[in-house]
Amino acid sequence: MASLQERRAKMIDRGREEIEDIKKSLDFLGEEVSTVRLQQKNILVDLVEEVKALRLQNIEKEKRISFLENRVADLEQYTRMNDIIVTGLQIKPQSYARAVTGGDGEEQSEENANHVEHQVTAFLHSKGIEVNNSNIEACHPLPQRNNTAKPAIIIRFANRKHKTELLKQGRKLKGSDVYLNEHLTKKMQTLQEKLDS
């Protein structure tokens, strides 16, 4: 019986030792888990701060891009300050013979530009609108998608005063299908349409 009690005591001691080993292992694992949690928490805090900084940076860049887009639009509109668009005017093509014998490309394009300018000014004069050809820097049709439609024609004046004078006389075109408008960028055109409606 003594041996049974000794075996029981040894088993209890061994069980206690194993329980102590398990407690030590659990304490060690608990410390490791706490360390990992602390590291993850620090990483998460750093990532959250980085995301906040990137969001602020993104907002600043969006503001800067918006500012620059507006600046480019303003500059683009400024380059069109002396321009008028004539719509609805049918331009007669230059004769084939004159186009073929026009010489080199530069003279031919200058002659074509003068041809368009002459037709536009002749039409405007026929409607009682005074335009001095010496005030016109350039006059040419704009590229078009549909070749059957009447092309829009751009007239660039030497200065804004001449453009304004022509726009004031635009009322004399009432009843015809020809219109004089300022040369606006898409952005300005959209704003103008909103104002008109």
What average pLDDT does the structure give for the chain? Answer: 86
What percentage of the chain reaches a pLDDT higher than 70?
88
pLDDT in tens, 140-180: 998 887 776 788 999 999 999 999 999 999 899 988 889 99
154 in Cβ contact with 85 (< 8 Å)? yes
Using pLDDT thresholds of 50, 70 and 90, give the confidence band for residue 96: very low
Q: Contact at 8 Å (CB) between 68 and 74?
A: no
Whether residue 98 is found in the same domain as residue 187: yes
Q: Is 194 helix (H, G, I), strand (E, B) or coil?
A: helix
191 pLDDT higher than 90: no
Distance of CA 92 to the CA centre of its chain: 37
Specify whether 33 is located in the same domain as 63: yes
Last residue of a domain, one of 20, 54, 79: 79
**CATH number, domain with residue 113:** 3.30.70.330
Question: At 105, is the pLDDT very low, low, confident or very high (cuts 50, 70, 90)?
Answer: very low
Number of compact structural domains in the chain: 2
Residues 102 and 68 in one domain: no
Please tell me whether residues 49 and 140 are part of one structural domain.
Answer: no
What's the rounded mean pLDDT across residues 29-51? 92
Count Cβ atoms within 10 A of the Cβ of residue 108 and give its class: 0-12 exposed, 13-18 middle, 19 or more buried.
Answer: middle
CA nearest to 84, candidates 150, 182, 179, 16: 182
Q: What is the pLDDT of residue 107?
A: 46
**Residue 175: predicted pLDDT:** 85
Asked whether residue 74 falls in the same domain as residue 87, the answer is no
List all residues 6 or more positions away from 133 whose beta carbon is below 8 Å from its beta carbon. 117, 121
**Bridge partner residues of 83 (DSSP):** 156
* 12 and 102 belong to one structural domain: no
Q: Quickly state the pLDDT bin for 45 (edges 50, 70, 90).
A: very high
Q: Is the pTM of this model over 0.95?
A: no
Domain boundary among 54, 79, 104: 79
Residues 180 and 86: beta-carbon distance below 8 Å: yes
Confidence of residue 95 (pLDDT cuts 50, 70, 90): low
pLDDT of residue 99: 52
CB 179 within 8 A of CB 88: yes
| Structural domain span for residue 160 | 82-196
CB 44 within 8 A of CB 118: no
190 lies in the same domain as 137: yes
- The answer to whether residues 61 and 134 belong to one domain is no
Q: Do 12 and 95 have their domain in common?
A: no
Looking at residue 111, its pLDDT comes to 61
Q: Clarify whether residues 17 and 46 are in a common domain.
A: yes
What is the arithmetic mean of pLDDT over 70-76? 94
Range from 7-11, 35-39, 107-111, 178-182 carrying the lowest mean pLDDT: 107-111
- Would you say 18 and 10 are in contact if contact means Cβ atoms under 8 Å apart? no
